[in-house]
Homo-oligomer: A and B are copies of this chain.
Amino acid sequence: MAKVAMEMRETEMKEADMEKESSRSGGGMCKDLEDPLGPPTNPMVSALLTDMYQLTMAYAYWKAGKHNDRAVFDLLFRKNPFGGEYTVFAGLEECVRFAANLKFRDDDIEYLKTIMPSTCEDEFFVYLTTVDCSEVEIYAMPEGSVVFPRIPLMRIEGPLLIAQLLETTFLTLVNYASLVATNAARHRRVAGKDKMLLEFGLRRAQGPDGGISASKYCYLGGFDATSNVDAGRRFGIPVRGTHSHAFVSSFMSFDEITERSLPYAKGGSKCEDFVHLTQLWLGRMQEASSLREFFHETNHSELAAFTSYALAFPSAFQALVDTYNVMRSGIPNFCAVALALNELGYKALGIRLDSGDLSYFSIETRRFFRAVEKEFNVPGFGKLVIVASNDINEETLDALNKQGHEIDAFGIGTHLVTCFSQPALGCVYKLVEISGQPRIKLSEDVTKVTIPCKKQAFRLYGREGVALVDLLIGENEPYPKPGERILCRHPFSESKRAYVVPSRVEALYKCYWGGKSGRREPFPSLVHLRKRCLDQLAAMRTDHMRALNPTPYKVSVSGKLYDFIHFLWLNEAPVVELQ
């Protein structure tokens, strides 16, 4: 079956397909641990793709002889995006690829010398050429996890200078990836499991690789396919697309169609004049009493365009029907061509609507398709695919659900990839420990206070298998165990406490780079990340997930960590003197 167009029945991917997809995307399910990690997907990611202050700080650390102090940084966000209560974590593999390949090349150094103050010592630049991540350890939640504010997504340990150098690039790689994956997941939730979701955002993304990242991470977040051919090739994402209004406008008459013959689907003989056949079918439709209410005359140049498109793609015919008038021209013209194809043994795929009242047009179109099925006795015609694609977002999907519609697939672009309703996720990268000493960053804004120390994170599940709370503890505290009564405290609010007896305890961090055990977690293929994400989202309590007034998921710290945070806080904060 043609891959180019909608294949509604293939939405549910089977394990076998997943293996195929993963080999297509350039790696098996688990990459060989012995192999070095490949370079970042984007060749523009280099040691210099960072903020200048990372390099001035690097110099100052080096100059002070502090560059090898062992540091621990947390990468976290403070607020879920889009007014929601959950976030999807994405971008991890690209971070580790960056770290694995971090290296200042000679031309990097030459450029840095031109922008650093001339007082900087040459030995520093010599040192920079030796910098790599061999002493760095990266612990993180698995990519595709459902995650929450304040619980660090990643913990980076290493020599101060090097761990600090990773900040900007890691944030760049995680912020947008997680934001757009979350946006995709939210669109999937509103659209429902059975609809096909197509990402159409390349032309509105933040430049070329904004577009490529969008396609990749929207797929991770639950989309089915993309229009972006390059993303399809890079990541094995299914690719979809038919034609634009320009294609229809480019035709003026049937005379332009020179090659008019079309073989029957099963081979053997061929139809000598397919153009005539579509006109014949249009005539039959015009005469049918059951269809008369819908239309009188259709636009002939549109019929010529559809006919020509069908001659090119007889087994994947799908038409954009709103260039002139959806119900009076586009739909009857499409049906005439689809019926002609049917006569030759082909099955048309369906239509795309790109303007107007999508609820009304999809319902009317379905009614027309059913009338055609009945009138001409063509089984399945009533179920042809209706794709809609005009400025769709979460709210439109919700409104369509309420109004009722007959749309099978949505093509979503601008609002999805630009994350229109909130175009930034505010991940930050905070120093929490240095040379074994915990560090806290205070702020008059309590949400900006960081949780100090090297920590472990756990997700505690209740009897129903539903996640109840995430818990941070100090590195050296005993791990929580199923069946134990565990005190979970809000990190900053004294009165918010709960005892939890989990039926299951999940340690959230795994080692993705470095580490004493020598065992590094593998990176699953994109199709597996997508499955993880969809499974995790499906397992969450629905009140956390709803769009309107969702219940916040609880994130907490152990009693011991709570006491320690507040001990440090009192120690560091100045006592204000009112005068």
Contacting residue for A229 out of B52, B313, B448, CB 8 A: B52
Tell me which residues across on chain B come within 8 A of A177, comparing CB atoms: 207
* Closest Cβ–Cβ distance, residue A345 to chain B (whole Å): 13
Tell me which residues across on chain B come within 8 A of A247, comparing CB atoms: 57, 60-61, 164
Q: Is the CB of A207 within 8 A of B213?
A: yes
Does any Cβ of B come within 8 Å of A567's Cβ? Answer: no
Q: List which A28-48 residues lie within 8 A (CB) of chain B.
A: 40, 42-46, 48
Does any Cβ of B come within 8 Å of A252's Cβ? Answer: yes
Kindly supply a per-residue 1/0 record for chain A positions 426-441, scoring 1 wherever the CB is within 8 Å of any chain B CB and 0 otherwise: 1101110010010101
Q: List which A287-321 residues lie within 8 A (CB) of chain B.
A: 296, 299, 308-309, 311-316
**Given A48-B233, A51-B229: A172 and B119 within 8 A (CB)?**
no
Interface range, A side: 35 or more
Most buried by B among A2, A56, A203: A203
Report the bound CA distance from A437 to B252 in whole Å: 9
* Closest Cβ–Cβ distance, residue A298 to chain B (whole Å): 9
Report the bound CA distance from A212 to B50 in whole Å: 10
Q: Is the CB of B57 within 8 A of A244?
A: yes
Report the bound CA distance from A325 to B420 in whole Å: 36
**Given A441-B249, A574-B324: A44 and B42 within 8 A (CB)?**
yes
**Given A308-B64, A430-B246: A241 and B441 within 8 A (CB)?**
no
Q: Is the CB of A44 within 8 A of B46?
A: no
Kindly supply a per-residue 1/0 record for chain A positions 81-115, scoring 1 wherever the CB is within 8 Å of any chain B CB and 0 otherwise: 00000000000000000000000000000011011
Q: List which A422-478 residues lie within 8 A (CB) of chain B.
A: 423-427, 429-431, 434, 437, 439, 441-445, 448
Q: Is the CB of B420 within 8 A of A423?
A: yes
Tell me which residues across on chain B come within 8 A of A210, comparing CB atoms: 176, 205-207, 209-210, 213
* Closest Cβ–Cβ distance, residue A578 to chain B (whole Å): 13
Does any Cβ of B come within 8 Å of A118's Cβ? Answer: yes
Does any Cβ of B come within 8 Å of A401's Cβ? Answer: no
Tell me which residues across on chain B come within 8 A of A244, comparing CB atoms: 53, 57, 167
Q: Is the CB of B418 within 8 A of A423?
A: yes
Tell me which residues across on chain B come within 8 A of A309, comparing CB atoms: 60
* Closest Cβ–Cβ distance, residue A440 to chain B (whole Å): 8
Most buried by B among A60, A175, A205, A250: A250
**Given A206-B213, A207-B206, A239-B52: A65 and B258 within 8 A (CB)?**
yes
Tell me which residues across on chain B come within 8 A of A202, comparing CB atoms: 49-51, 168, 172
Kindly supply a per-residue 1/0 record for chain A positions 195-237, scoring 1 wherever the CB is within 8 Å of any chain B CB and 0 otherwise: 0000010111111111111100000000000011110110000
Q: Is the CB of B243 within 8 A of A56?
A: yes
Q: Is the CB of A207 within 8 A of B2?
A: no
Tell me which residues across on chain B come within 8 A of A208, comparing CB atoms: 40, 42, 44-45, 49, 169, 172-173, 209
Does any Cβ of B come within 8 Å of A123's Cβ? Answer: no
Q: Is the CB of B227 within 8 A of A42?
A: no
Tell me which residues across on chain B come within 8 A of A228, comparing CB atoms: 49-52
Q: List which A246-274 residues lie within 8 A (CB) of chain B.
A: 246-247, 249-252, 256-259
Stretch at the interface among A66-74, A505-513, A546-554: A66-74
Q: Is the CB of B209 within 8 A of A207?
A: yes
Whose C-beta in chain B lies nearest to the C-beta of A452?
B249
Q: Is the CB of A242 within 8 A of B53?
A: yes
Number of copies of chain A assembled together:
2
Report the bound CA distance from A249 to B432 in whole Å: 9
**Given A50-B229, A329-B574: A424 and B414 within 8 A (CB)?**
yes
Q: Is the CB of A246 within 8 A of B172?
A: no
Report the bound CA distance from A345 to B345 in whole Å: 90
Tell me which residues across on chain B come within 8 A of A239, comparing CB atoms: 52, 115
Does any Cβ of B come within 8 Å of A9's Cβ? Answer: no
Q: Is the CB of A46 within 8 A of B230?
A: yes
Tell me which residues across on chain B come within 8 A of A175, comparing CB atoms: 203-204
Report the bound CA distance from A228 to B206 in whole Å: 16
Does any Cβ of B come within 8 Å of A380's Cβ? Answer: no
Does any Cβ of B come within 8 Å of A240's Cβ? Answer: yes
Tell me which residues across on chain B come within 8 A of A50, comparing CB atoms: 202, 228-230
Does any Cβ of B come within 8 Å of A560's Cβ? Answer: no
Does any Cβ of B come within 8 Å of A117's Cβ? Answer: yes
Report the bound CA distance from A205 to B213 in whole Å: 11
Does any Cβ of B come within 8 Å of A379's Cβ? Answer: no
Tell me which residues across on chain B come within 8 A of A311, comparing CB atoms: 60, 63-64
Does any Cβ of B come within 8 Å of A518's Cβ? Answer: no
Report the bound CA distance from A233 to B49 in whole Å: 10
Report the bound CA distance from A574 to B325 in whole Å: 8
Can you pick out 16 interface pairs between chain A and chain B where the beta carbons lie within 8 Å of each other? A46-B230, A51-B229, A53-B242, A54-B241, A59-B312, A60-B308, A60-B311, A66-B251, A111-B233, A176-B205, A203-B427, A204-B425, A210-B210, A325-B574, A418-B423, A418-B424
Other A-B pairs beyond A55-B241, A111-B229, 17, CB < 8 Å: A3-B115, A44-B208, A49-B228, A52-B239, A56-B313, A59-B312, A60-B311, A61-B250, A64-B259, A64-B311, A64-B312, A172-B211, A180-B206, A205-B210, A249-B431, A249-B434, A329-B574
